[in-house]
Chain A
């Protein structure tokens, strides 16, 4: 580290890495100190977490009701036919 504390570019990397691995204690502290003082990096961190949430929840199954678009019977039959053709 060139400095006693991380700068924004270091912090952005560490914040990203912290989503995939646990950081060494002194890095965690340095990031934490920086985030206390830098609203933009704090914002960045929140946004990365949000990206994760959005990505992970992408498989939430949409609720199906009568208004929901469904596959027509013809389409289903067509797909079944295609699948049956597979040896």
Chain B
């Protein structure tokens, strides 16, 4: 057991210095691959040190306190189980938050609400239908009256965001999450999903189109078309 934060951080740096890089994470299990002889992590210390900020993060994204608590617990559980694979490429905190983000996304996937855009979106596999025969927009993108800096603080937006994301077909959504939330490169995503770069761009394109459309449909945009025309 490691007793204090400092030695662990040093170790993490040391591991980075060896030049090993982490390549991949999965959405469900096993987040990091690598590091073999890592010392056991002091889980109590984790809970004391990161519990509150993880909880706060989760609570901003799910509605109920109990759910947020569960997600935090699941995060720690997954982290402890996968600690051998934590490589110290990122800080412990970043690592834990990375796990939590996936837990939140999974939570929304598992609890799809009935309300949503799935009904509003036409065939989600047919992004072509967003355009008319001449290649123009079938429905023109509406003006969004938003400031991402502010908007992401609002629960409402985050709720829309996750709900819309859960409506995106799995593979596209995975590609999107790897790219935009985990910040992996296209090459890393291709390796992860075992697809070609071209395929990867198609998945990302589809995810972005659907997500954008969904956010617009659920009222994220303000109806300003009349004015701006």
Contact = CB atoms under 8 A, between A and B. Distances in A.
Interface of A: 7-10, 12-13, 16-17, 19-21, 39-41, 43-44, 47-48, 50-62, 64, 68-71, 75-76, 78-80, 82-84, 86
| Residue of B43, B69, B135 with highest tally of chain A CB at under 10 A | B135
Contacts of B152: 54, 57-58, 60
B101 A58 contact: yes
Secondary structure call for the A interface: helix
Contacts of A9: 128, 130-131, 135-136
Interface in B64-109: 65, 69, 72-73, 76-77, 80-81, 94, 97-98, 101
Contacts, number: 137
B48 interface: yes
Nearest to B69: A75
Nearest to A82: B73
Interface string B201-222: 1001100110110000000000
23 contacts: A7-B134, A7-B135, A8-B135, A8-B137, A9-B135, A10-B135, A16-B208, A21-B201, A39-B228, A40-B137, A47-B212, A50-B144, A51-B180, A51-B211, A55-B176, A55-B181, A61-B53, A68-B52, A70-B52, A71-B51, A80-B44, A80-B47, A84-B43
Contacts of A39: 228
B56 A62 contact: yes
A64 B56 CA distance: 8
A47 to B, nearest CB: 6
A21 B188 CA distance: 13
Interface of B: 43-44, 47-48, 51-53, 55-57, 59-60, 65, 69, 72-73, 76-77, 80-81, 94, 97-98, 101, 128, 130-131, 134-137, 140-141, 143-144, 146, 148, 151-152, 157-158, 161, 176, 179-181, 183, 185-186, 197, 200-201, 204-205, 208-209, 211-212, 228
Secondary structure call for the B interface: helix
Contacts of A13: 201, 205
